[in-house]
Amino acid sequence: MTEEQKQPEIIDQNPEINTSDGPVDINDSGAESTEATEESTVDESQSTEANLEIEDDGTNSPENEEIFAAFQQENANLKKLLDEKSEQAELTKAQYTRLAADFENFRRRTTKEKENLEVQAKKNVITDLLPVVDNFERARTQLKPETEGEKAIHGSYQGVYKTLVDCLKKMGVSAMRPEGEEFDPNFHEAMLREQTDEYPEGTVIEQLMRGYVLGDTILRHAMVKVAVPKEPVITSEEKKTEQDQQENENTES
């Protein structure tokens, strides 16, 4: 028998799906399909729940708890390290501020000491030169040149004197001019006192030796003569009367 002869027999054995005999009833097949779909959905939801249970079980596992605890410990260690570094930074900042203040004070103190040292060095040198200036001034007032040779010599050493005075002025040295001023013990030294009514008491009459200052520093006090009031003159009669009064007082006592 050939294959073409066998085919109708197969169709006849399944009349429900044979399209040649009439309409086919598909209600049964659709119901079966819906039931299959519902079953597959239930299976998928069950599998999803199972997966969630597996994931939950994995999250709460001891290994994950150990990892989480390790992270927490590491976080605490890092926080502690950060606090230590912050404290160290604040301490370093405070030390830097203190060192900067100390350095500024040191710089100011060094500058002040340097200035004082320069002034003291100038003072020492100029003080040693002041007697030379005094000698030139005495020579100018005491010597009276008469001949041409004497005048030439006088002009020569006066030129040296002028050069020396100019150098001292450039260094900041100035001479005192106390005549007619009130006596000041900070600048003057009283060598003589003269009784006079021409000047008020305590007035500088004459400068015996010139005083010098270097800025605000006194190089040498000016030696001066100071005016004092005259004492009252007692005549012989007033003196005799005073003696008689003293004798009477002694007799009564």
Residues 155 and 183 in one domain: no
Q: Examine residue 11 and state whether it is found in any structural domain, yes or no.
A: no
Q: For 171-192, what is each residue's pLDDT tens digit?
A: 889 999 999 899 999 999 999 9
pLDDT category of residue 57 using cuts at 50, 70 and 90:
very low
Phi/psi for 224 (5° steps) reads: -130, 170
Residues 122 and 140 in one domain: yes
pLDDT category of residue 166 using cuts at 50, 70 and 90:
very high
Q: Examine residue 1 and state whether it is found in any structural domain, yes or no.
A: no
Q: Examine residue 136 and state whether it is found in any structural domain, yes or no.
A: yes
Instruction: Output the average pLDDT for the chain.
Output: 77
Q: Examine residue 242 and state whether it is found in any structural domain, yes or no.
A: no
| Contact yes or no for 173/219 (Cβ under 8 A) | yes
Residues 113 and 162 in one domain: yes
Number of domains in the chain: 2
Q: Is the predicted pLDDT of residue 68 greater than 80, yes or no?
A: yes
173: number of Cβ within 10 Å: 21
At 210, which CATH number? Answer: 2.30.22.10
Nearby residues of 60 by Cβ (< 8 Å), 6 or more positions away: none
Residues 101 and 144 in one domain: yes
Q: Examine residue 88 and state whether it is found in any structural domain, yes or no.
A: no
Residues 195 and 145 in one domain: no
Strands (E), the chain: 173-175, 188-195, 204-209, 212-214, 217-220, 222-228
pTM for this prediction: 0.52
- CA 186 – CA 176 distance, rounded (Å): 12
Q: Examine residue 247 and state whether it is found in any structural domain, yes or no.
A: no
Amino acid 52: pLDDT: 44
Give the pLDDT mean for 114-126.
88
Q: Which structural domain, as residue segments, surrounds residue 117?
A: 95-171
> Which of 119, 149, 171 lies at the terminal end of a domain, its last residue?
171
Q: Examine residue 230 and state whether it is found in any structural domain, yes or no.
A: yes
Q: Examine residue 63 and state whether it is found in any structural domain, yes or no.
A: no
Q: Within 14-60, where are the H helices?
A: 27-59
> Which of 128, 151, 171 lies at the terminal end of a domain, its last residue?
171
